[in-house]
Amino acid sequence: MADRTVAHLVVERLRAWRVPRAFGCPGEAIAPVVEALDAAGGDPEFVPARHEESAAFMATGHAKFTGGIGVCLATQGPSAVHLLNGLYDAKLDSKPVVAIVGEDVTGPLGEVHEEIGLTRLFGDVCHQFVRYGRTPEQVPALLDQAFRTAAATRSPTCVVLPRALQEAAVPQLQPHAAGVLTATPGEPLARVLPHQADLDAAATLLTVGHRVAILVGQGGRGAADQIVALADRLGAGVAASLLGKPVLDERLPFHTGVLGEVGSTAAAQLMGGADTLLMVGTNDPWTDYLPMPGQARTIQIDIDGRRIGTRYPVDVPLVGDATETLRALLGQVADRPDRQWRATVEGAVDRWRAEAAGHAAAPAEPVNPQLVLRELSARLPYAASVAVDVGSVLSWYARHLQLPPGVDAQLCGALGSLGCALPYALAAKLARPDVPVLALLGDAAMQLNGLAELITVAHRWQDWADPRLVVLVLNNRDHSGLGDGRWTPGVAGRRADVPYAGWARLLGLHGVRVDRPELVGAAWDEALAADRPCVLEAVVDPAVAPTAPEPALADLRSLFADGHATRRIRDRMMAAERQIVEAEDLV
């Protein structure tokens, strides 16, 4: 190959975009780029995964934990197909990822080994930007466009580079030549605020509301101080979506916890009693747990105007950054907290926390999985990162693991794909090797790809300043927690009982197996004190099943759906509407 090829140019553009690492699986069609990365001295570094799906999850996990742009590499054919799951995770949770795919097709098209139409394959998941590189002159601008589009649209993009192009010599580029696009690296960091008229209308609704509820999603990250200040000013209660769980300190007395099927009864009650709803950066799918349409006047804040009103009717849309928008609202909303409503909310929170503690303490054979997550809460290291998989572990995380300030947590939210937690945890650990990381998953996810990616952990951990990466495996030895979180016991018989802690020890890692409830706390202490990554295998009772909380006013919903609402129900709803109107007249 020439001294400077397009593959070297790719590495230079990754470095210009401040990409610290790219995740992938080596292959012939992407080999020139991988070789150029190997020669780059770790700036950026190439991180080989055991499977392309894991590599795409790592790239998405990098974007989720760091706020940067994730990068994954693959070759054509089945390698490219395997990227799709992680890229759809990025698309549905609005995270920027760039996929660079190598292609090595010679001979008649349509008859080539491993040939797949890549633009059609990635046309949906990377619909914002999918392009082929054709000439060396195109590559810098092509990559810049891919990165800029990923950042601006918060979505995955794809660039396909034929191997012959990767090996081609780079000529003296002529930036202003005809047909050559130029671009400079840099992420758009616009300050977005709603129109003043919309801020005025939102402030009015919040001021006249008697029973204000605030639902916080992942778009509320960085705005915790403003959310708490507004809640105190209005005497509001707060609930979180699953993705919004890390935004606020869950120990706040008015924080009702996660809303939805895996959430708390207090959050459902908050929504059932609210007459005003403020949604902050959330696209939560569990609409059954929101107030009944017509019950509450609603304001929604989102940086993406396309999402406003897609889940719930909105009276005042506010398109803007959560922090900036909330700061503007605080300057306009009067200080008139409803102490009676706040006391009601805090009472519901107290009852829920006592109920959750009782569930975790209930006897089980051999160990109650709720107890395992509850014992972790008091032991979470400061500034730790937590990656959560799909299945029953998601319910126990949502209900029993309180996240204090400084602890970040990520999960596969909208896609709900099994097998994301360990790749996420690796990405988080590589981004911040000086802080502890925890991966929470069930035995199904561990068998899917976790056993293989422990090899990656074993290969990398000695370079970490803080060697702690704790992988919790809830081993219920049964096919009880499906990928979508539903509980369907015995759907495919008993799962193979794999010695997960023993597998860790075979790889040179630490392994702890606990099957007695009185030893769960000590097992966490041992895992978190280990001088190397650790698999904590908790043998749990498959009969302990997650149950969804009853949506507030669920009885009213069913009656309205059947068209048989009674006069008493109609009168109740009309009285609530009159209270809202009377409050507005006082302003």
pLDDT for the residue numbered 3: 79
pLDDT bin (cut points 50, 70, 90) of residue 116 is confident
- Output 587 or 528, whichever has higher pLDDT: 528
Q: What is the pLDDT of residues 323-356, one digit of tens each?
A: 999 999 999 998 888 889 999 999 999 999 999 9
Q: What are phi and psi of 115, to 5 degrees?
A: -80, 130
pLDDT for the residue numbered 285: 82
- Residues 69, 96 contacting (CB under 8 angstroms): yes
Omega prior to 363 cis, within 30 of 0? no
pLDDT for the residue numbered 497: 84
In percent, how much of the chain has pLDDT > 90? 79
pLDDT for the residue numbered 540: 97
pLDDT bin (cut points 50, 70, 90) of residue 462 is very high
> Whole-number mean pLDDT of the chain?
89
pLDDT bin (cut points 50, 70, 90) of residue 481 is very low
pLDDT bin (cut points 50, 70, 90) of residue 173 is low
Omega prior to 44 cis, within 30 of 0? yes
CA of 246: how far to CAs of 116, 282, 383, 481, 488, in Å? Answer: 40, 13, 12, 24, 29
- Range name among 40-49, 177-186, 233-242, 526-535 with the lowest pLDDT average: 177-186
Q: What is the pLDDT of residues 282-316, one digit of tens each?
A: 988 888 999 998 899 999 999 999 999 998 999 99
- Please check the confidence at residue 583 and state whether its pLDDT lies above 50: no
Please tell me the distance from the alpha carbon of residue 378 to that of residue 395, in angstroms, as a whole number: 18
pLDDT for the residue numbered 85: 97
Give the contacts of 559 (CB within 8 A, at least 6 positions apart): 565, 566, 569
pLDDT for the residue numbered 286: 83
Average pLDDT over residues 499-526: 98
- Please check the confidence at residue 132 and state whether its pLDDT lies above 80: yes
pLDDT for the residue numbered 576: 44
Query: Is residue 40 packed enough to be buried (19+ CB in 10 Å), middle (13-18) or exposed (0-12)?
Result: middle
- Please check the confidence at residue 220 and state whether its pLDDT lies above 50: yes
Which of 290, 286, 306 minimizes the C-alpha distance to 298? 290
- Output 181 or 513, whichever has higher pLDDT: 513
Angle between the 392-400 and 369-377 helix axes, to the nearest 10 degrees? Answer: 40
The pTM of the full predicted model, rounded to 2 decimals, is 0.90
pLDDT bin (cut points 50, 70, 90) of residue 586 is very low
- Output 198 or 565, whichever has higher pLDDT: 198
pLDDT for the residue numbered 164: 95
pLDDT for the residue numbered 562: 42
